[in-house]
Amino acid sequence: MEQEVGEQVDEQLERMAAGSIDFVGLQELRPRLTEALNAGRPLRVKLGMDPSAADLHVGHSVTLEKLRVFQELGHTPIFLVGDFTARIGDPTGKNKARPPLEPEQIRANAQTYVDQVGKVLDADRAEIRFNSEWMDAMSPTDFVRLCSRYTVARMLERDDFAKRYREGTAISVHEFLYPLVQAYDSVALQADVELGGTDQLFNLLVGREIQRDYGQPPQAVITLPLLVGTDGKEKMSKSVGNTIGLTEPPQEIYGKTMSISDSLMADWIPVLSFGRWDDLEASVSGGAEDPLSVKQELARRLVDRFHGEGASSGAEAHFRQVIQQGRAPDEVPEVEIPLGSDGDAGLLDVMRQALGLASNGEARRLVSGGAVRLDEQRIDDPKVRLPAGEYLLQAGKRRYARVRLTSEP
RNA sequence: GGAGAGGUACCAAAGCGGCCAAAUGGGGCGGACUGUAAAUCCGCUGGUUUUACCUUCGGAGGUUCGAAUCCUCCCCUCUCCA
């Protein structure tokens, strides 16, 4: 029996560590895990996210997948929605303070997070918590006491703060509070382990110290690689606009994946694999394989991962038709536009309405750029007027609308 | 509280009385090329009824025929001193 638990511990630790960048407190975790297994008590594993945007994306899925591994190992996954911390704004990796969010926005985002987490995790068996639960209840006195546990000098050790301080960009005092609140969350949740992206290392480590101060054994910290966004440059993030959202339609996930560079694909595969895509990892590291078909396979698997097995076939067909062959998709949004007394309408107006463009100027630019087709014929003259009838309007490769111009009786 | 330096379009950054709807770079959007891409090249990137007009250079006033540019007050950021 003793022997068996020992083996189990090794096996579990190995799965916990797989694909991670840092694993702080591994040695302390070993006896703790052994004890937990013997007592039949699951570890409490925390993963926090701020509801700063409405959508979780593939980048978030990296840590979520790891949390799922813990769930599979029988531990308690705690998904912490940082509705309080969102009001502070995580300064990590930022060169300026984040604008704080409106409470309603935070609440709305938090709700969608909970829904989206179910795409990766068995949400029914996960503990889902909000840090406003204890933070709103904390008295100012207790809050100041929390702040007294850490020093400014140590705060300034953090790379992004140090950099901003050096460069003379503003650091507001409240930004220092963020790591402390995140750390206190671990106290409140009595976390045994906390997960995060590598950029979270500092915050996660503060958690260890604060837990010690509050008389708790410090959590183990596991960091995972950050996923570079579709632009191939910056970390995937909503504000940069280089994300693939977990809830995006299959053809979007597929298309965006296909649009990444071949070299980025090589970065993505090991990060997203979780030991499940040995074949893809092999073909990438081998390097010999045709990148197009590898990327298509990656796109298929991502679609299937978030939309369920088989969801990718439609997305792939759509991609082949619209992007590779440049033909109209099967489903084109239909727009009906009533004509005024003139009996016809200007092309630019029609484009703006049918394609949702910001202005006629934008429509004009598309026309002069040679991007616009009407019933498959390229249009060069922005002054064209269209009489009543039905048209297939196209701007660029991907924007289509079937427009019906109707004359009003 | 004192002294100084700044706030320019999505971002960075030039401009410092008219030639400024504002250089340049990045980003974005198109086009060409391609195996999807990337890279590269080309075009566009405030609005409108587009040879012109309207709104824009932190905010509000003022000087001037004319202001992003000069003056006054205010707000914000940074540095040094206290």
pLDDT band at A287 (very low <50, low <70, confident <90, very high): low
Measured to protein CB atoms, the chain B nucleotides within 7 Å are 27-32, 35-39, 43-50, 77-79
Q: What is the DSSP string of A356-375?
A: T-S-HHHHHHHHHTT-EEET
Q: Return the closest nucleotide (C1') to the Cα of A397.
A: B30
Q: Who contacts A3 (Cβ-Cβ below 8 Å, separation ≥6)?
A: none
Question: Average pLDDT of A375-402?
Answer: 91
CA of A81 to C1' of B66 (A): 57
Give me the percent of chain A exceeding a pLDDT of 90. 60
By C-alpha to C1' distance, B10 is nearest to A240
- The predicted model gives A270-286 an average pLDDT of 84
Residue A88 near residue A181, CB atoms below 8 Å = yes
Nucleotide nearest to A357 (CA to C1'): B29
List beta partners, residue A130: A81
Confidence at residue A119, expressed as pLDDT on a 0 to 100 scale: 85
Q: Tens of pLDDT along A79-123?
A: 999 999 888 777 776 665 566 667 787 888 888 898 899 888 988
pLDDT at A93: 63
The arithmetic mean of pLDDT across residues A113-138, rounded, is 91
At residue A174, the 3 state secondary structure works out as helix
Q: What is the pLDDT of residue A147?
A: 93
Question: Residue A334 CB: number of other CB atoms within 10 A?
Answer: 11
CA of A82 to C1' of B63 (A): 53
Q: Which residues are in reach of strand B, CB within 7 A?
A: A 165, 168-171, 231-232, 241-242, 258-263, 290-292, 295, 319, 323-324, 348, 352, 358-362, 364-366, 368-371, 395-399
Can you tell me the distance from the alpha carbon of A400 to that of A376, in angstroms, rounded to the nearest whole number? Answer: 11
Which helix (H) or strand (E) is A339 found in, with range? strand A334-339
CA dihedral A137, A142, A148, A154 (to 10 degrees): -10
At A146, the pLDDT band (50, 70, 90 cuts) reads very high
Residue A95: what pLDDT? Answer: 60
pLDDT tier at A44, thresholds 50, 70, 90: very high
Judged against a pLDDT cut of 80, whether residue A408 lies above it is answered with no
pLDDT at A206: 96
Q: What is the pLDDT of residues A183-212, one digit of tens each?
A: 999 999 999 999 999 999 999 999 999 999
Q: Is the pLDDT of residue A341 over 80?
A: no
Mean model confidence pLDDT for chain A: 89
Residue range A20-47: mean pLDDT, rounded: 95
Residue A170's pLDDT is 83
Model-level pTM? 0.86
Name the closest nucleotide to A364, judged by C1' and CA. B44
pLDDT of A344 = 87
pLDDT in tens, A234-258: 889 887 788 999 988 999 999 999 9
What's the pLDDT score for residue A3? 59
**Per-residue burial over A8-25, b = 16 or more CB atoms within 10 Å of its CB, e = otherwise:** ebeebbebbeebbebbbb
How many Å separate Cα A63 from the centre of its chain? Answer: 10
Distance A99 CA to B63 C1' (A): 38
Closest among A398, A257, A246, A250 to A313, alpha carbons compared: A250
Average pLDDT value for residue range A127-152: 94
**DSSP label at residue A185:** H
Q: Which residues is A387 bridged to in the sheet?
A: A344
Judge whether residue A12 has pLDDT over 70: yes
**A391's tokens:** 């048209």
Burial of A363 (0-12, 13-18, 19+ CB in 10 A): buried
Which single residue is written with the structure tokens 């204890």? A134
**Beta-strand pair A76-81/A44-49:** parallel
